[in-house]
Amino acid sequence: MIQIHDKHFDIFIDQETLEARIAKLAEQIDHDYAGRCPLLIAVLNGSFLFVAELMKNIRIDCEITFIRLNSYEGTGTTGKVKQILGLSEEISGRDVVIIEDIVDTGHTMAELLGQVTAKKPRSIEIATMLHKPEATRIPVTLKYVGFAIENKFVLGYGLDYDGLGRNLPCIYQLAE
Ligand code: IMP
């Protein structure tokens, strides 16, 4: 068991299991995008280790770019609106794969999908290291999912708790 800030966490997915699964996702991408040079769009900060491991295992030609989401209070009915920062690449006509650390309620991904789709890529799919199906409020189609997990807070492998824990080489879960 480890402690981060005030909370205790137990190991949940070890590094070997996690990286073996990520290698499988890379194999699927190799197969699905053969001859198409996909553009990976990784959402910072949380996806940086996942996308590094994924990309190391992809054998076909591919490119990468990084974006951040700026959260601000909107005046519309949705309340919080997130805006993409850093997407300078021309993506119209590209085969895009959005890379996320975790899909929880689905709000972030739904917003992102809408904004990236508006830039007219040829195709768009999502790869997420983790998915919490029970927490999902806005259904989005997730083509590549590392692990579907229960609705408990997790950290490590890029995911943080209040800034800490991103450097942990495996996934930890909040202890009971
Ligand atoms: P969503 O919009 O609710 O799907 O939230 C997605 C974002 O919330 C992720 O990109 C993470 O940054 C963060 N998040 C959701 N669940 C967790 C968790 O269990 N641990 C750490 N961060 C999380």
Q: What percent of the chain has pLDDT over 70?
A: 94
Higher pLDDT, residue 72 or 134: 134
Catalytic residue among 30, 104, 160, 162: 104
Q: What global pTM score does this model have?
A: 0.94
Q: Which pLDDT belongs to residue 81?
A: 63
Digit-coded pLDDT (tens) for 125-139:
999 999 999 999 999
DSSP collapsed to 3 states, the chain: CEEECCEEEEEEECHHHHHHHHHHHHHHHHHHCCCCCCEEEEECCCCHHHHHHHHHHCCCCCEEEEEEEEEEECCCCCCEEEEEECCCCCCCCCEEEEEEEEECCCHHHHHHHHHHHCCCCCEEEEEEEEECHHHCCCCCCCCEEEEECCCCCEEECCECECCECCCCCCEEEECC
Q: Per CATH, which fold does 2-174 belong to?
A: Rossmann fold (3.40.50)
pLDDT single digits (tens) 79-116: 566 788 888 888 999 999 999 999 999 999 999 999 99
154 lines ligand 1 (CB under 6 A): yes
- CB-ligand 1 contact for 7 (6 Å cutoff): no
User: Which pLDDT value is given to residue 73?
Assistant: 53
- Using pLDDT thresholds of 50, 70 and 90, give the confidence band for residue 77: very low
Does the structure show a pLDDT above 90 at 35? yes
Q: Which of 77-86, 116-125, 137-146 has the lowest mean pLDDT?
A: 77-86
Cα of first residue to Cα of last residue in the chain, in angstroms, is 11
* Residue 35 CB partners (closer than 8 Å, separation 6+): 60
Any atom of ligand 1 within 6 Å of the Cβ of 103 = yes
pLDDT at 147: 98
CA 35–ligand 1 middle distance (angstroms): 33
104 counts as catalytic:
yes
Cα separation of 162 and 127, whole Å? 24
Q: Is 112 in the pocket of ligand 1 (CB under 6 A)?
A: no
**45-70 mean pLDDT:** 96
Mutate which of 102, 129, 147, 174 for ligand 1? The one with the most ligand atoms within 8 Å of its CB, which is 102
The pLDDT assigned to 76 comes to 45
